[in-house]
Amino acid sequence: MTAKALVLYGDGINCDLETEYGLSVAGFSPERIHATDLLKTPGKLSECQMLVLPGGFSFGDEIASGKVLSIELKQRISAALHEFIDKKGLVIGICNGFQILVQLGILPVSKSGAQKVVSLARNSGGKFINRWVNLSVVNEHQSPFFAGLKEIDLPIRHGEGRLTLGVNPGKEVSELVSKHTVLRYRDDVNGSYEKAAALTNEQGNVLGLMPHPEAFIRWSQHPSWTDSKKEPGETPHGLVILQNARKALG
């Protein structure tokens, strides 16, 4: 079966070409679509099996990261997006894409009308972070994206990636977020709640993550790629994540 993935681009998104390439290597048939075109023709979602919101700085991160594009998506294609998710279509938001999904209120609960319970705030150090990080996969049964993975390396590059629960969130919200966290930083890199680096929904078909899987498709992208300790033939972790998405579609 051909698995088609729509990759959003335009309006400040700048990781679409790398993402398109990574999806192609992983076995998808990717198609880049300008955000304006998707807003005009939401029926395009019914023609694909996965929607990808890549990293970048959509609309220059005006107001807040991902806010403007999330407003556009919510006002114009909310019904089509929720229908796509309800029909088990895969959605992955990477970095700015994760910020958009959070602004939409789609994570950690993807039901239409769900209350927004998390935010992605400025890093605790107050600075943009651009580095490789070591991460632990947790609650892996929640998401097909991380099948077979336990500990991975991926790069991060963001200024607003600190997951927060707001003021006095209550036990129910904190337990919900913990349950749907599927990736944690091994070290506290940005003050994120419980070191969370990725969230999924109850069905596991929507994933938002701050690290960039599309930036680790070949070992030569890793800063230690010449290290002889690396297992020969081991698939780069970012590629595994995208391959897992392809396998999940059958």
CATH of 4-248, picked from 1.20.120.1080, 3.40.50.880, 2.40.340.10, 1.10.3720.10, is 3.40.50.880
Set 20, 72, 160, 214: catalytic member:
214
d(CA 139, CA 104): 23
pTM score: 0.94
pLDDT in tens, 126-178: 999 999 999 999 987 789 999 999 999 999 999 999 999 977 788 999 999 99
Active-site residue, from 15, 95, 160, 180: 95
DSSP 243: H
- The percent helix, strand, coil of the chain (3-state, each to 5) is 35, 25, 40
| Range in 63-72, 153-162, 195-204 with the lowest mean pLDDT | 63-72
Q: Which of 158, 212, 222, 237 is catalytic?
A: 212
Q: Is 47 a catalytic residue?
A: no
Average pLDDT of the chain to the nearest whole number: 92
Total residue length of the chain = 250
Handedness of CA 90, 242, 183, 99 (dihedral sign): negative
Tokens of 62: 């005006």
15 among known catalytic residues: no
- Whether 175 is catalytic: no
